[in-house]
Structures are given as C-alpha cells and as structure tokens.
Amino acid sequence: MALYSNGQYKAAEKLDVEVMKARKRVLGDEHPNTLFSMNNLASTYSSQGLWGKAKELQVQVMEARKRVLSDEHPYTLISMNNLAFTLQSQARHEEALALMVHSTQS
C-alpha cells in the first residue's frame, strides 16, 4: 500500500501480482484473501488508466464473491461499486449506473 499511496504504481503492480499469484497457489482462486489481492491489483490498474485489465479482474472478483459470500455481502457490493467506477471511466454509463443502483439497494 505504501508504494500505491506514493504513486509508485508500476512497483505496486509488480508486488500486487506477486502477492496475488502466491495467494492463488497457497489459498486457492476463491479464498477471500486471494480475492482481496486481486481487488488490490485491479485498483492499481485503475490508477494507471488500465481500464481493460482492471475490469477483467473486477468482474472475476465480483463473480467469485457472489459465489463465496453472497450477492448482498458488503465485499460483493464493494466489488460491484469498483466495477461501476471502471465502467464509468470507459464511458459505459448505463452499465455503471445499473451496478451502482444494485449495490446501493442491497
């Protein structure tokens, strides 16, 4: 987080990828800590304007959290909101709005 907070996004990305891979290997693809790491990497991508990469991970995290935690779990709703922000940044306003509405009504 220190690298991310200081705007050192490439260094943060490298570390985020390493942590995510290690957690996938040790904990599995859908373990909450693995999903947390994937979410961190997606945030790092977003901060660099890498919307496609961010969206891909955010969709994976959101779908996994729906399966593992439930549609209404706070972490799932946060994932929806993160994805909505990315969609908004890609000018996909209708999709973003639908996710935002769903995440606030749950």
CATH number at residue 79: 1.25.40.10
Distance between CA 8 and CA 83 in Å, rounded? Answer: 23
Domain of 83, in residue numbers: 11-20+30-105
The answer to pTM > 0.85 is yes
Question: What pLDDT band is residue 65 in, cutting at 50, 70 and 90?
Answer: very high
Q: Given a cut of 80, is residue 46 above it in pLDDT?
A: yes
Rounded to whole angstroms, the Cα distance separating 64 from 70 reads: 9
Q: Note whether residue 88 is domain-resident.
A: yes
Joined tokens for residue 29: 């693809």
Total count of domains within the chain: 1
